[in-house]
């Protein structure tokens, strides 16, 4: 059973976020890559900051982040299932779609 927290910082379950957007490897836009970023964070602001830092480390110069949400359990399908497991271990997973 998932217990909804009173506020963003009091969840009994690990807070694993998924951020959906588009990232760009060239200045001025160009051809963007659809991405999902899966990570564990204390709150949504921290999740966005960590996601942007991870994208920058991977060579992305810009990102348009469209949606953020919390995963309420282990996803069944790959690559999200592996990304969720990695997030529980402190990794930031960037899933790229062609």
Q: What is the pLDDT of residues 20-79, one digit of tens each?
A: 999 998 776 678 999 999 999 999 999 999 999 999 999 999 999 999 999 999 999 999
Our count of domains for the chain comes to 1
Report if residue 82 sits inside a domain. yes
pLDDT at 32: 92
Domain that includes residue 58, residue range: 16-97
The per-residue b/e assignment along 26-65, b for 16 or more CB within 10 angstroms, e otherwise, is eeeeeebeebbbbbbbeeeeebbebbbebbeeeebebbeb
Task: Say if residue 98's pLDDT is above 90.
Answer: no
For the stretch 4-26, pLDDT in tens is 455 555 556 679 999 999 999 87
Report if residue 72 sits inside a domain. yes
Report if residue 65 sits inside a domain. yes
| Nearest Cα to Cα of residue 92 among 21, 15, 39 | 39
Report if residue 10 sits inside a domain. no
Report if residue 11 sits inside a domain. no
Report if residue 62 sits inside a domain. yes
């Amino acid at each position: 059973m998932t217990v909804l927290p009173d506020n963003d910082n009091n969840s009994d379950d690990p807070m694993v976020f998924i951020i959906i957007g588009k990232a760009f490897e060239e200045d001025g836009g160009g051809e963007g890559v659809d991405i999902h970023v899966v990570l564990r964070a204390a709150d949504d602001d921290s999740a966005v900051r960590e996601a942007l830092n991870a994208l920058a480390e991977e060579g992305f110069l810009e990102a348009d982040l469209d949606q953020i949400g919390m995963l309420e359990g282990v996803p069944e399908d790959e690559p999200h299932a592996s990304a969720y497991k990695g997030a529980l271990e402190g990794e930031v997973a960037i899933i790229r779609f062609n």
